[in-house]
Amino acid sequence: MSPNIPETGKPRVVIVGMGFGGLMLARKLSGRNDLQIVLIDKNNYHQFQPLFYQVATAGLEPSSISFPLRKPFQSCKNVHIRITEVTKICPDKQTLCTGLGEMHYDYLVLAIGADTNYFGNKTFQQRAWPMKSVSEALALRNRLLENFEKALVAEDPDTQLGLLNVVVVGGGPTGVELSGTLAEMKATVLPKDYPELDFTKMQVYLIESSPELLGPMSVHSQEKSKQYLEELGVNVVLGTKVLDYDGKYVQLSNGEKLRTDNLVWAAGVKANFMEGVAKPEQLARGGRLNVNRFNQVAGYQNIFALGDLAAMAEEKFPDGHPQLAQPAMQQGKLLAKNLGRLIKGQPMQEFRYKDLGSMATVGRNLAVVDLPFWSFQGFFAWLVWMFVHLFSIVGVKNRLFIFINWFWGYFTYDQSLRLIIRAKPPRMEMPAEQKKAQEGQGTASPVAQAQVLAAG
């Protein structure tokens, strides 16, 4: 198998990962006819990570926050897209190993982002539910809805309580937004879907090891977010670590045990590992790659890293920029210019992060926003949050669908997306003796075939 990419004689820029940084870089470079651009991702779509929690809570469809990779580049003859995974980089040969075979590069850009960080705890990795991709958000939605269905028929009160309760670990934006939405569902949606269940028994817990929520935000926003969550009915537990989880009980460092079958892990991220460039001297905290102010990976002139993967020190950010969309997009935008300068032998421009602020929504009409010049909370902050996220989505159609869903949900307190969607199991091969017997008896009806398969 081969990647089957034509040799054009032009410098080849290979971009691995189509998150915020990789997509921004690709779109800026796609108009250049003096380069060949190769885009690699394991998915054929771009994912809008800030709204994963709305997929997990049945507020949005997965397709609303996903955008086909090929669409922005349909008229770009110099852009080649390959859906595969990169397993290793060989810098000495300027090649990378992929599921489609070996591929040459002149300039390599790694924008593979980050994944859930379980801090080495295998128990949490096996039993907790992460939310770092659309598929994981959809799996969490299935889990929650399936457990509500099971709670309907559970005869044991303890079993029913475990199926209803949800524990969210991590007080960052994801944890705050998810727990707030779950609390609103408990109050407005779930009692209508399941009138036989007593949802006053259901508890939503948010556990954070730090003494405050939303660590990077202002003190006022931290306090307001906690106040909003508690008003919604969320049990906020600060300054407490999660020690263990046996599938039924969450053990906290304060000695408390919480009964739940639903443990959601939103407690941190770590950079994705890439064999070939992730040497000990190149790694920073959280597995990020040390890069200079031009995003060049330490020790290499033609390998770059962007966004969550890159640890770039600035005066204000000595340990690297926050692992958010804005640093990745700003780095991608500048790198597109710097690659043009590098090819022409011109000096590159150093990156300087422009902090545009941070925000998080807590619930209906409730959000916190910190701008460089102003911090505000409440209804207006919620409108600003909606506007910023809506116009950050790639694709006009996606924006329209999201707006319709938000508009409908706001006035009806309901959505029609609470669907349990399971993957169909692969078709089992018929045993040889059954196949032979069937051939001897002629073609059987579909019902008879099903009976044979069931009997097998």
The type of residue at 412 is T
Catalytic residues: 177
Contacts 24+ apart (CB under 8 A), 291-296: 293/350, 293/351, 293/352, 294/335, 294/338, 294/348, 294/349, 294/350, 294/351, 295/331, 295/334, 295/335, 295/338, 295/351
Tokens 């210019």 label which residue?
Answer: 337
Cα-Cα-Cα-Cα dihedral sign, residues 331, 334, 336, 342: negative
Instruction: Map tokens 């609390």 to a residue.
Output: 183
Q: How far apart are CA 67 and CA 44, in angstroms?
A: 8
Kind plus residue range of the DSSP H or E element containing 355: none
Residue 238 phi/psi, 5° resolution?
-105, 160
| Number of other CB atoms surrounding residue 294 within 10 Å | 20
If we measure between CA atoms, which residue out of 214, 270, 207, 203 comes closest to residue 243?
207
Instruction: State how far the alpha carbon of 383 is from the alpha carbons of 96, 214, 447, in Å.
Output: 45, 19, 56
306 within 8 A of 332, measured Cβ to Cβ = yes
With beta carbons less than 8 A apart as the criterion, state whether 160 and 199 touch: no
Would strands 262-265 and 166-169 be described as parallel, antiparallel, or unpaired?
A: parallel
No. of H helices and E strands in the chain? 13, 24
Q: How far apart are CA 269 and CA 271, in angstroms?
A: 7
